[in-house]
Structure 1
Amino acid sequence: MERSKIVAIITGAISVLLAIAYLIIVQILDYRDMQPAPIMQIILDLGIRH
C-alpha cells in the first residue's frame, strides 16, 4: 500500500475511536442524575438578601 493510504486508514481509525469515546462520555454524563441547586442556595451564593 502507498504511504498516503496507510495514513488515511490510521487517521480514519483514530477518528472513529474518538467519536466512540465521545459518545460514551456523553452517555455517562447524561446518565448521572443531575439536580439543580435549590433556589435559596443560589440566592445565598449571589449574596442577595431578602
Structure 2
Amino acid sequence: MGHVKEPKGVDFIIESEPLTEKDRKEISKFIVDYKSAHKKKPRTQKRKKQPS
C-alpha cells in the first residue's frame, strides 16, 4: 500500500468553524431524542436444549 500524496493546489486539511452555543444545544437535543426513540430492545435469554 502506497502513500497518497496531495495533488498540487489541493489541501486535504479541513478546518470547520466552531459551533455556536445554539448549535451545540440543537445537536445535543437531537442526540437525546434519537437515543430515546431508538432504544435497543432487551435481549431474551436462549432456552437450553432439553435432553431427549
TM-score class normalised by the smaller sequence: 0.3 to 0.5
* TM-score in terms of structure 1 length: 0.43
Higher helix fraction: Structure 1 or Structure 2? 1
* TM-score in terms of structure 2 length: 0.42
